[in-house]
Structure 1
């Protein structure tokens, strides 16, 4: 009953369904990969963000060579800000608002220079492309607690003087003229002594993994439903063929029945019996009288 599935048309439908299902599986797997990456980031936030600060002496290697599992780890360091080489980083949105971030090197007593991101500033109204004011960093020795963040890649776009397109530590090092640690920078949490005015602090990262699991299940379901739909169509085709065969057999049986048992209207009328009926007698009498 299902021999029609070997026809070219149905094999073509099967190939199309297989291709579409494979795409659905790929999209579902992509969503699962995104979920795994987000869950890893969430794990780093949960494990590291509110941990006790680690002295720089113990975490120095994390700035030289970034370790993704230690992202957001608070590190305590003491030094002096190089305010002459402070920079503004462009195109840094925060909570749907466009703005900038302020970065400045912190020179430690051992000669190491760590870049500190002091926070966010909104777009200014006085001059296009610049914030209205930049809160000054504390002068003299300052103790900073900053969370580890990875260096950002270079962007293929320029920036006005005193600004950076991204926190590209190699480019920043070229501008300041001395060595900066290249693996990571610090996102400021606290400063001591604390200045009267500081840039806006970045909010704690969200620990919501988003709808990626739901999207992945939907893509897998779509891939499965394609085969269900193909099976349903094949079942309907088989039923249609079966009904067509039954109708053909019924037509043949009807023809044979009609041939064997014709309808009364089609049967041969019996011949009128010969004999001396009243009509024959009247005809004979008329003939004899010459009518």
Structure 2
């Protein structure tokens, strides 16, 4: 078999198998990393979701910073909404239906604005407008919300006046012209201890690690399969090139000759 590796043809096949294996290994590692990311997301949800709310100033002492490990952490806000600055976040799905999330800036007691996603509302049939647009509470309000990271802008996606395509906190802060938390925003949990009935607040997400582990192992198997295919081809060629074994001539005895003569008479 080693003799065949001196031939350019088989060296080419082996080189292709090596390149194929490298690609498969990269894809296997990518799937493994995807699994690690999924497990990290699950761990953050399980660790933070049911925590007691902390004051937003304690959770986010720097309004422009946010630690990804703080995702889903409940925070307590005291202050008031800015009803005239309410926006609709378009293209949000809930239970198989498209609608809007209600984005409401909330001015906290120290004057810094925190962006609150109050919940989901349905879209009117055949229109890019909501069925009804709820009003945010007026006056002093106590809000509990769970932290979510800044979504940033989405290239190529726009929105009509009064709507936004994503929760881009820097853009919202510029539009408000006030000190604003730009590291994270919050999904509403409660207002003054109750849940609003004019929006559908976000429910606890169901996360799983997905099929990434099995996909990762499959790519390693494919990598080995490339080498196995080359080895099988070389073995098959060696078999076909081997001379066929000739049958051995058996020396005939005098008795065999006499029997042949008798058979012919």
> How many Å apart are 1:234 and its aligned residue?
1.7
Question: Equivalents in 1 of 2:37, 2:163: separation in Å?
Answer: 31
Aligned partners of 1:71 and 1:147 also within 8 Å: yes
Task: Indicate the SS of the match to 2:227.
Answer: helix
Q: Within 5 A, what are the aligned runs for 1:169-188?
A: 169-188=169-188
Is this contact kept in 2: 1:142–1:193, CA < 8 A?
no
Contact kept, 8 Å, 1:74 with 1:147, in 2: the verdict is yes
1:197 maps to 197
Structure having the larger proportion of residues in helix: 1
Q: Distance in 2 between matches of 1:193 and 1:137?
A: 15
Deviation at 1:38, TM superposition (A): 1.1
Deviations 1:3-49 (CA, angstroms, capped at 9, x unpaired): 12210111111011111111111111111111111111111101001
Helix, strand or coil at the partner of 2:101: strand
Cα pair 2:102 2:121 within 8 Å, conserved:
yes
Greater C-alpha radius of gyration: 1
Give the structure-1-normalised TM-score.
Answer: 0.80
Residue correspondences, number: 250
Structure 1 residues 189 and 196, CA gap change in structure 2 (3 angstroms): closer
Asked whether the equivalents of residues 2 and 238 of structure 1 are also in contact (C-alpha less than 8 Å), the reply is: no
Q: Distance in 2 between matches of 1:153 and 1:38?
A: 21
Please show how residues 68-147 of structure 1 align to structure 2 within 5 Å: 68-125=68-125, 128-147=127-146
Cross-structure match for 1:9? 9
Deviating runs (4+, > 6 A) in structure 1? Answer: none
Which residue is equivalent to 1:149?
148
- Give the Å deviation of 1:2: 3.8
Are the counterparts in 2 of residues 119 and 187 from structure 1 also a CA contact under 8 Å?
yes
Q: Equivalents in 1 of 2:235, 2:15: separation in Å?
A: 18
Aligned residue for 2:159, secondary structure, equals coil
The alpha-carbon distance between structure 1 residues 28 and 114, as it changes in their structure 2 partners (threshold 3 A), is same
Name the counterpart of 1:164: 164
RMSD: 2.2
Structure 1 residue 63: Cα displacement = 4.3
Contact 2:51–2:73 under 8 Å retained in 1: yes
Provide the rounded CA distance (Å) in 2 between the counterparts of 1:198 and 1:44: 29
CA contact (8 A) 2:112 2:178 kept: no
The aligned residue for residue 225 of structure 2 is: 225
TM-score, scaled relative to structure 2: 0.87
1:241-252 aligned at under 5 Å gives the runs 241-242=241-242, 244=243, 246-247=244-245, 250=246
Deviation of 1:135 (Å): 2.1
Distance of 2:99 and 2:196 partners within structure 1 = 21
Q: Deviations over 1:49-71 (max 9, x none)?
A: 11111122311326430100111
Unpaired runs of 5+ in structure 2? 252-256, 258-265
2-side partners of 1:142 and 1:86: how far apart? Answer: 16
Question: Is the Cα contact below 8 Å between 2:83 and 2:136 reproduced in 1?
Answer: yes
Q: Distance in 2 between matches of 1:99 and 1:63?
A: 29
The runs of 5 or more residues in structure 1 that have no matched partner are: 258-263, 265-291
- Cα distance in structure 1, aligned partners of 2:64 and 2:79: 17
Q: Is 1:169–1:182's contact at 8 Å kept on the other side of the alignment?
A: yes
**How many Å apart are 1:239 and its aligned residue?**
2.2
